[in-house]
């Protein structure tokens, strides 16, 4: 059977804006990959990320370079070994999972040897801003079980305390996005402990996280920008307590499942996160997130318009994808 591949760039407006320590954006730009074979079509989505040197054009070009192998029938494991990790491989890998599941007539979770997925409690993201603005935004979502709060300034204490006061009952993940320094690390850790923060994500810049080995960590610390592939894990085991696995970093579900198992073997907790994308980008990650200690798959909730059909969200719960979406 002859395979055919098609890729397109799509743009989805964000509701308001999304702000982290590196800047703001108002649009989620994604690349969608379709792989068709024998009357079946698989689909995958990725989010090119500037922090990792990716653009829409570079991701489209990277996928196009692989067209001969993809259309010749390359499998997921061979793709993992042949194509560099990152957003481009994620779109192709997830399209191949979807295609294989459809051809076999079984759900993707069965194909992956996973238990049937259940609804998961996902975080909802609070954008970075002035303390008063963050408190006001948090108050609107204080009914949610889990909040992910963007920080990463020279002095985040007032922001942390303002958010905690606005959501006294919510569990909080604090994401510094590489914005702290060795000099203010202990101070911010103490404020997080005082405020009952559950997890601190990537406080120091990737490659400069050695101080985490010699400082008391009163709150668990999670690697994000510091971890992309399974081979990154051994050197992080003494620095971090958890790792954030994102399909756009790992280059797809195939590598992400491998990384999850390796992280567990190193006694690292698992967080499954996302870029700001549509339900199609989240759907494979929902399978990965079963059993994870922390889930952050709120990308579609931040959009003004999602795909149809999309994932079903109910309160803080995200439900498994339906076949019409993916898998």
Polymer length in residues for the chain: 327
Greatest CA separation for the chain: 61
Contacts of 15 (CB under 8 A, 6+ apart): 302, 303, 304
Joined together, the tokens standing for residue 324 give 């019409």
The first and second tokens of residue 116, run together, are 């049937």
- Which is the catalytic residue, given 102, 148, 229, 246? 246
Contacts with 100 (C-beta within 8 Å, 6 or more apart), sequence order: 42, 76, 108, 111
Strand pairing of 313-314 and 317-318?
antiparallel
Residue 269, class by beta-carbon neighbours within 10 Å (0-12 exposed, 13-18 middle, 19+ buried)? middle
Active site residue 229: no
List the beta bridge partners of residue 269.
242
What does residue 114 show for φ and ψ, rounded to 5 degrees? Answer: -100, 160
Q: Are 289 and 274 in contact (CB under 8 A)?
A: no
Catalytic residue among 148, 150, 229, 249: 150
Instruction: Supply 229's token pair.
Output: 């592939």
* Residues designated catalytic: 150, 246
């Amino acid at each position: 059977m002859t395979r055919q591949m098609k890729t397109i760039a799509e743009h989805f407006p964000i509701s308001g804006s999304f702000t982290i320590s590196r800047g703001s954006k108002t649009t989620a730009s994604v690349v969608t990959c379709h792989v068709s074979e024998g009357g079946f079509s698989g689909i995958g989505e990725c989010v090119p990320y500037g922090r990792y040197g990716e653009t829409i054009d570079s991701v489209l070009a990277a996928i196009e370079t692989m067209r001969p192998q993809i259309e010749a029938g390359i499998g997921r494991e061979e793709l993992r070994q042949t194509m560099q990790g990152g957003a481009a491989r994620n779109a192709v890998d997830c399209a191949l999972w979807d295609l294989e599941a459809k051809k076999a007539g079984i759900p993707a979770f069965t194909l992956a040897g996973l238990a049937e997925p259940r609804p998961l409690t996902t975080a909802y993201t609070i954008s970075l801003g002035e303390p008063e603005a963050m408190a006001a935004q948090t108050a609107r979502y204080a009914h949610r079980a889990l909040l992910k709060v963007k920080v990463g300034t020279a002095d985040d204490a007032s922001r942390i305390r303002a958010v905690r006061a606005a959501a006294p009952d919510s569990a909080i993940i604090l994401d510094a996005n590489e914005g702290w320094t060795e000099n203010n690390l202990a101070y911010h850790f103490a404020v997080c402990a005082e405020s009952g923060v559950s997890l601190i994500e990537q406080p120091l810049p990737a490659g400069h996280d050695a101080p985490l080995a010699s400082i008391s960590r009163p709150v668990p610390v999670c690697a994000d920008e510091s971890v992309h592939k399974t081979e990154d894990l051994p050197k992080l085991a003494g620095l971090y307590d958890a790792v954030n696995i994102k399909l756009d970093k790992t280059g797809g579900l195939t590598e992400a499942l491998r990384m999850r198992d390796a992280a567990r073997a190193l006694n690292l907790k698992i967080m499954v996160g996302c870029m700001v994308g549509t339900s199609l980008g989240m759907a494979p990650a929902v399978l990965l997130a079963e059993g994870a200690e922390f889930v952050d798959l709120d990308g579609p909730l931040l959009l003004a318009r999602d795909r149809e059909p999309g994932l079903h969200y109910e309160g803080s719960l995200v439900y498994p994808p339906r076949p019409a979406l993916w898998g």
